[in-house]
Each structure stands twice: as C-alpha cells, then as structure tokens.
Amino acid sequence: MNKIVLQFACLIALGQALAGPLSPAESLGRFTVFDDLEIDQVLAEPLVEQPLFVNFDERGRLWLVQYRQYPNPAGLKMTSRDNYWRVIYDSVPAAPPNHVRGRDKITIHEDTDGDGKYDRQKTFLDGLNIVTSLAHGRGGVWVLNPPYLLFYPDKNRDDIPDGDPEVHLAGFGLEDTHSVVNSLRWGPDGWLYAAQGSTVTAKVIRPGFDEKEIFSMGQNIWRYHPESRRYEVFAEGGGNAFGVEIDAQGRIYSGHNGGDTRGFHYVQGGYLRKGFSKHGPLSNPYAFGYFNAMPHNKVPRFTHNFIVYEGDGLPKQYLGRILGVEPIQGRVVMSDRTAIGSSFKTQDTGHPIKSSDSWFRPVDIKAGPDGAVYVCDWYDSQVNHYRNHEGRIDPQNGRVYRLRAKGAANLKSFNFANRTSLELVELLQHKDKWHRQTALRLLGDRKDVSVLPELKELLVESIGQAALEAFWAVNLSGGFNPDFATETLKHADPHVRAWTVRLLGDEGVVTEPLAKRLAHLAKREPHVEVRSQLAATAKRLPSNQALLIIRSLMEHDADSGDIYQPLMVWWALESKLNRNAGNVLDFFEDESLWQKSLVRQHLLSRLIRRFAKAGTGADLLKSARLFELAPDADSSKILMGGFEQANKGRSIAALPERLMAAMARHGGGSVALGLRRGELKALEEALRVIANPKADKLMRLQYTEILGQVPSAMAIPVLLGIVKSEPGDDLRRAALGALKPYNDGRIPEALLAVYGALPDELRKAAGTLLAGRSDWAIDLLRAVDAGDLAAGLVSAEVVSLLRSHGDERLGQLLSRHFAGSETDAVRLEQEIQRLAKVVTAEPGSPYEGKKLYAASCGSCHR
C-alpha cells in the first residue's frame, strides 16, 4: 500500500513538472504568504535568466548573477566523470580577458523614481564562464569566477571596469558546477568570505606570490584578505556548502543539502561533519571529532541557503529568525534560532512563502536596504544536478521576488558613497543590519583615521550592537593595535572581547603582555563564546603564547558539557603536540588537572590516542609518560580506552618496556590490549568471556571483532560454537566476520552443518564466507550436489561470488545446479557492457530521449 501511495505521489509530481512553466504573471498568482506580508515580482525573464545570487550596492541597486552557462563550462571537454558526477576536464580555463566566453553575466537593476519597480537595467559584465557571486568594495567589484577570484577595478563607480581584472586567487576546482566556490561577501573584519561545495577540490595559489598551493578537498568556508593578500580555510566540513550568512555578532553559517537541519554554524578553525565516504576525510587525522549541523526537528531536505533576518522592514516577529530557501519543496521556511552554549539549535515555525507552482525554485535569499527580503527563483521543473547535466534544464527562465511588510512604503533613492565618514559612523547605530554592514564596508574602503576618536568614544560609551560595530570600524580604519586591544579585552560586551581575541589571533603572534592578558582572560572569562574564540586563537599563536591560554581553558569544568568547546580546546592542544608535546605533558604533573571535567571527559583519551595513533617510538614513550603521571586507576583506565581506540584494527606486538611498566602501575593493560599484543593470558580470558552467554554483551562483541583482526587458531572452536548455538544474531554475525582470515578445514564443515538452519541474513553471511575460498566454495557446491543442501538456500549474491573464482570444478557444479542464473548473469553483463558503450560514446539528446520516453516508458509512467 505504501509503495502504491509513493508511486501515486511521484506521478502527481511528474505531472506537475510536465505541465510546463507558467508565465511570470500566472506564477505570481500562485503564491501564499503570511497575512502581515506581501510579495512582489520585481524581475523576470526575458530580462533575467537563471538568477543565482543577489546583493545590493551602496546606492541600493540590485546586482544579480545570472548563471546561464551552468551546468557545463564553455570551452572545456570532459575527459572523465566518477559515480558522484565529479568531472575532470581536459584543461584549466584561462582567466578573463583571455577566456573562452560563456553565457554568464552580472547585471545591475535600479529603481530610479522610488516606486518599487526596477526601471533601469544595465550589464556590468557579460560573457563570463561559471560565475557564482560578487562583492563590492576597495575600489571595484570582486567576482568569484572559479577557478579564479577576480577584482575588476572601477574607481569612479561608473559601472564600467577600468581595465582587465586582477587575478587575486587561482586554483578553485570545477569538478561539479553545483558545488563550486560561491557566495562571496565581506566579513566585518575586512576579510572576504565564501563557501566551497562538497564535490570539488581546490589547489589555491596567489599568482605572482606563491609557488606552493594550498590544497583543500570538499566543503569549507574560506576567506581572503585583500590588503595582506592572505588566503586560508576558515573552517572545514559541512554540507554541500552553497551560501554564507553572517549574523549581527559576526557568526558564520551555511545551509545544508541534507535533511533534519537548517544548516551549520562555523567557528574559526573548526572541523564539521561531512559525507566522509563521498567527500573524503578531514584534513587533520587527529581531529578525533567534528561538529554536527545545528540540531533541528526532523524535516525533509534541504535548505542550502538562509539569512538571519536582522532588518528593520518586516514586522517585529521576524527579527532574529532564520529565513531559508527550500528549492525542492518550492517555499521559504522560517525557523527559530536558540542558543545552546556556544552554538545554536533551530526549530521551524512556518513558511512565509509557499507556491502551488511546482516550478518555483528559490535558490538565494538576501535582505535588502529597504528591510524587505529578496528571493532568486531559478524557475525550473527540477533542480537535480544529474538531470541538469542530462539536458533536463530550462535555461531561459528566472524571477526575483521581494517579500515585504504589508503596505510598506518604497525606499527612496540614496547613495551612501556620498555620505561623509562621520555620517557613516552614525549609520553604525542603524536598526537595520544591511545599513550597518554597508557603512562598515565603506569605512573599510576609506580607512579614514580622522573618525577614530568618534569611533572610540562610541565604543567606550556603548554596549551591545553599537559597541561591536564601532570596534569593527576602528579595526577597518587602522586603529587596531596592542594598546587598543588591551582595553577592549576588558570591554563589558562579550562579543567585543571575543572579536578582540580573534583579531589578535589573525596576526599570528602577540606581544608578551597581551599573551599574559589572554591567558588571564582564559582563566576568568564568563562567556563561553569568548572562551571558544580563545581556543581558536590559541591554535594560531606560537606555542609559548598559546599553551598558557590552553592551560587556563582546561580548568573550565562547565565547558565539558558544551556543544563545541571540548573539541575547540582539544584542537588547540593537538596543534601544539608535534613540536611541544613535552610542554603539554608537563601540565599533567599537576594532579588537580586530572580531576577537571573537561580534561577527564574529553582530553585525556584523545591525548593518549593521538600519541598511540602516530605510533612512532617517540610517541609511544610520550604515552608512557602520560601513564606514569596518571594519579589513580580510573585515570589509567581512561588512558587505556584511548590507547585501545587508537590501535583498533591492528596488532601491537612490540611496545616499549617503559610503556608496559607504566600501564601496569594500576593493574596492567586490558584484555583487548593483550589480545592485540598476542598475549596468551589475554587470549584465554577473551575466549572465556566470548563463550560465556552471561558475560557483558559489548565485551563479547569487542573481543570477537579483535580476534578477526588479530587471528589465533585457538579461537576457531569458540567462534564456531557461537555461530552454532548463540541465541543472538549480532554476536553470530560478528563471529562469522571474525572467521574470514582463518583458513581451517573445521570452518566449512561446521558452517555447512548449520547452513540450512541459519536465519536468512546469517545464511548469506555464511555463504559469503564459504564462497570466499575456492576449496570451501567447492565444499558448498558439493553439499548442494549431494542433496544435503537445497540450491534455493544459496543466495544470488553468493552464486555471483562463486562464479568469480573462474574455477573449472566450480563451473561444472554451477552449471548443473544454477544454470539459469548463469545465463541471466551473462546476459545481464553483456547488456550492461552494450549500454555502457552507447552511453559513453557521445552526449545524448534530451529531445530524442523525450520522444523515446513517450513511445515506451510513457505508455505507463506518465
């Protein structure tokens, strides 16, 4: 019944998609918005096609990236593509103006008379080839055009570039054009921030400066400082990051292409969850953990892009809430954001925009200078990257919508560039975040030191947002220095303190007085977000300065339960172990440190695991010292757990005598460790536990798995006994897995004796084990041939494995009892090979494919 309902729902969706696009006017009539809001269609085709990114300049004009070249870069030939549709091209495209011209463009749209309609249009750049976003500032326009970050000078702001673009960064990957670098924007610290998606790589260089590239694989948030020309990965991991939001306090977020969340909260130096099997491991093998997406109620995927609404144009109920696009569902979702320690959780509260037009595909969302929310509508029957590559894309559509308060007045023309620097300082106290951020960016452009007195006065006399804006402006105007930082570390506002710590870390080294102040702050700071930034900054500072900070952070018992801080402190500590492990171990001469919750629950096991996983002689001696310093048996037990985790899946026959003696101080090593070392006493104890049905189940499973990694012939009878008589399937399955490396005639005999009585899944596991060795495979087929085992009990997967040996003896028995499956398998393989040649020979035609679908599949699947 459920299958029928699902098929019916799919057919309904397919019918809506095949119904075709509605005109802009018809589509506008299909929207439903909250009662206190109204929606306007401000741009549509043919003026706009495939709008991907929107933002506004200091004159309030709307700038739009039209991603018309997507999905295939112009001038490149695909040489290969993997099963995740990551493409390798035959060459790297040249940067403009020497590039192959594409269809992307950047357009400017202006409301000249304040009636809310964009009546003047112009093109800033045309002929671009895979361009995703732009940012204004520093005398021109920054354009993210992977593999490049480009700067188009336009000092007089006449919307005509002064010359060819400057290439600031090169090396961003093009493997997947729905994952390329995107969402360029200014941070309040004067860095440009952007996202990198999950299925691309980057080998970034600064042309003319670097010989060695900076490599990254998959999703991250990165940043670039135009004046110092520094590039770095800000935080690693996340979903298919396509969007960057920065809230009023300067926190960074991106959405997710998965479900059950609205996105990720990124902190400096953090490692976040990603699809590791598809997107590769974290760059640090000793991260030993990662941050998950912001906790949320269960929801379908996905919200890749959102804003934290902090404008002044919508009713008060929207302030501080998340507004995110849902391109699959065709709506905009609103969510509450609630602090949980140093990060957030979210909860949906409704959908301010919904449409019954199934082609509505919101892909970008921004707050405008009028306090309204602007949404880019890709407008297509679907947004599946695979399908787009197959030609199922309508590249001639696109709309932009404005969501505003009901009855809201239109914004009159303005130009912040004509404001004096003091007038811009006044704008820092505006209620609307867009106005504050734009004023801040312009002050960063000007670097007008004459306003520093006013900014410092505002900082001293204010608390909250005005103080933070003033602090950022002092930095962008050239006023951040050690004396200033010394004062702002004492500011009453925690976000001013946190940002002081962050800017100090960005310099890579601080004065000795400031290093002491940071360590003092780390010991007494009451706000967890400031402590989080202290950990991030410590990671960036030299060890002699960082370790003082880290040691103080380890004292905070309250942080052991925080969602981020335990890992932040670990990552800071781990970053100093390569060169300063001895200094770190000196910490643990203080017995009181061993009793700290953060240390006991999070750091000890990771520290010993770090040394054990590295596994060199020197690292094992560091492990020995840590065991020697352990003040009690419980501490040694924690260390032993971390040591065993590091050695999971490998034998450790030779350990230094000093380490063994240190482990023995509080009762010696564990059974698991002894098994990996090949100790007879440990083996005997493990076999006794495994065979005892009353013993701890998890311990029995652990020992069984280890015996599959470190085989011993003594284990065979016990493991076979589990397969024969254990009532629980989990342990029986583990025993079958553990028997794989053993080559002993007792195994096939015992398995065939119980084969017919095993549950289906265990029978398949036993068959797979028997089919793995040709001699055992023959035993299996002979049992079938003799009538001792019904052929129907041998699964198709096992038969396939049996054929893979290419053994003539097996072939004869297979032909006798599984002839039909052989014919089917051969025919299937032949058909797969034939179709593979057809598919890869040349690109297909979606139009001919549509006719073929209508003539064949479409007779049923409409």
Q: pLDDT tens, 784-827?
A: 889 998 988 998 888 888 888 877 788 888 888 887 654 455 55
Per-residue exposure over 821-856, b if at least 16 CB sit within 10 Å of its own CB, e if not: beeebeeeeeeeeeeeeeeeeeeeeeeeeeeeeeee
Asked whether residue 803 falls in the same domain as residue 828, the answer is no
Strands of 83-181, DSSP E: 87-89, 104-110, 120-128, 133-136, 140-145, 148-153, 166-172
Residue 263 domain flag: yes
Residue 484 domain flag: no
Which helix (DSSP H) or strand (DSSP E) does residue 110 occupy?
strand 104-110
Asked whether residue 822 falls in the same domain as residue 801, the answer is no
Specify whether the CB–CB gap between 770 and 778 falls below 8 A.
no
SS3 of residue 182 by DSSP: strand
Residue 552 domain flag: no
Query: Sheet harboring 37-44: ordered strands across?
Result: 37-44, 399-405, 373-377, 362-367
Residue 156 CB coordination number (10 Å): 9
Residue 537 domain flag: no
- The reported pLDDT for the residue numbered 5 is 36
* Residue 855 reports pLDDT greater than 80: no
Q: Which two tokens stand for residue 613?
A: 């996983």
Specify whether the CB–CB gap between 461 and 492 falls below 8 A.
no
- The reported pLDDT for the residue numbered 658 is 94
* Residue 828 reports pLDDT greater than 70: no
Asked whether residue 691 falls in the same domain as residue 774, the answer is yes
> What pLDDT digit, counting tens, does each position of 244-291 carry?
999 999 999 999 999 999 999 999 999 999 999 888 899 999 999 999
Where is the domain boundary, 649, 669, 689?
669
Lowest mean pLDDT among 346-360, 648-662, 829-843: 829-843
Q: Which two tokens stand for residue 804?
A: 């893979």
* Residue 859 reports pLDDT greater than 50: no
14 pLDDT band (50/70/90 cuts)?
very low
Residue 127 domain flag: yes
What is the distance, to the nearest Å, from the Cα of residue 718 to the centroid of all Cα atoms in its chain?
44
Q: How far apart are CA 560 and CA 583, in angstroms?
A: 23
Q: How far apart are CA 747 and CA 783, in angstroms?
A: 14
* Residue 392 reports pLDDT greater than 90: no
Asked whether residue 122 falls in the same domain as residue 246, the answer is yes
Task: Label residue 363 exposed, middle or buried (CB < 10 Å: 0-12, 13-18, 19+).
Answer: buried
Lowest mean pLDDT among 82-86, 485-489, 569-573: 82-86
Spatial CA neighbour of 610 closest among 637, 634, 586, 575: 575
> What pLDDT digit, counting tens, does each position of 464-483 carry?
999 999 999 999 999 999 99
Q: How far apart are CA 528 and CA 380, in angstroms?
A: 45
Specify whether the CB–CB gap between 177 and 73 falls below 8 A.
yes
> What pLDDT digit, counting tens, does each position of 195-218 carry?
999 999 999 999 999 989 999 999
Mean pLDDT of 329-333: 98
Where is the domain boundary, 622, 644, 669?
669
Q: Which two tokens stand for residue 644?
A: 């065993």
Specify whether the CB–CB gap between 767 and 795 falls below 8 A.
yes
CATH classification of the domain holding 11: 2.120.10.30
Asked whether residue 55 falls in the same domain as residue 32, the answer is yes
* Residue 854 reports pLDDT greater than 70: no
For the chain, give the percent of residues with pLDDT over 70: 92
Q: How far apart are CA 746 and CA 716, in angstroms?
A: 8
- The reported pLDDT for the residue numbered 394 is 86
Q: Residue 324: what residue type?
A: G
Cα dist. 107→110, 126, 487, 610 in Å?
A: 10, 8, 45, 52
Residue 243 domain flag: yes
DSSP 412: P
Mean pLDDT of 54-72: 98
Q: For the chain, what is the domain count?
A: 4
Asked whether residue 265 falls in the same domain as residue 296, the answer is yes
Q: List, in order, residues 6 or more apart from 835 with CB less than 8 Å away.
A: none
Mean pLDDT of 108-134: 97
SS3 of residue 832 by DSSP: helix
> What pLDDT digit, counting tens, does each position of 580-619 carry?
999 999 999 999 999 999 999 999 999 999 999 999 999 9
Residue 409 CB coordination number (10 Å): 11
Mean pLDDT of 383-405: 85
Asked whether residue 260 falls in the same domain as residue 112, the answer is yes
Asked whether residue 794 falls in the same domain as residue 827, the answer is no
- The reported pLDDT for the residue numbered 826 is 56
Specify whether the CB–CB gap between 373 and 38 falls below 8 A.
no
pLDDT mean across residues, the chain: 92
Asked whether residue 136 falls in the same domain as residue 235, the answer is yes
Task: Label residue 806 exposed, middle or buried (CB < 10 Å: 0-12, 13-18, 19+).
Answer: exposed
Mean pLDDT of 44-72: 98
Strands of 369-463, DSSP E: 373-377, 399-405
Specify whether the CB–CB gap between 525 and 497 falls below 8 A.
yes
Residue 170 domain flag: yes
Strands of 294-342, DSSP E: 306-308, 322-326, 331-340
Q: How far apart are CA 424 and CA 406, in angstroms?
A: 30
Mean pLDDT of 4-24: 55
Length of the chain measured in residues:
862
Asked whether residue 752 falls in the same domain as residue 827, the answer is no
Where is the domain boundary, 639, 669, 699?
669
666 pLDDT band (50/70/90 cuts)?
confident
Helices (H) and strands (E) in the chain, counts: 32, 28
Task: Label residue 471 exposed, middle or buried (CB < 10 Å: 0-12, 13-18, 19+).
Answer: buried
- The reported pLDDT for the residue numbered 824 is 52
Mean pLDDT of 185-189: 99
Mean pLDDT of 32-39: 98
Q: How far apart are CA 797 and CA 734, in angstroms?
A: 20
Q: List, in order, residues 6 or more apart from 121 with CB less than 8 Å away.
A: 47, 107, 108, 109, 110
* 33: β partners: 353
Asked whether residue 765 falls in the same domain as residue 859, the answer is no
Q: Which domain holds residue 124?
A: 2-405
> What pLDDT digit, counting tens, does each position of 563-572 carry?
999 999 999 9
| Residue pointed to by tokens 């729902």 | 9
Lowest mean pLDDT among 66-70, 505-509, 774-778, 855-859: 855-859
654 pLDDT band (50/70/90 cuts)?
confident
Cα dist. 259→262, 484, 538 in Å?
A: 8, 45, 34
* Residue 12 reports pLDDT greater than 60: no
Residue 513 domain flag: no
Asked whether residue 51 falls in the same domain as residue 68, the answer is yes
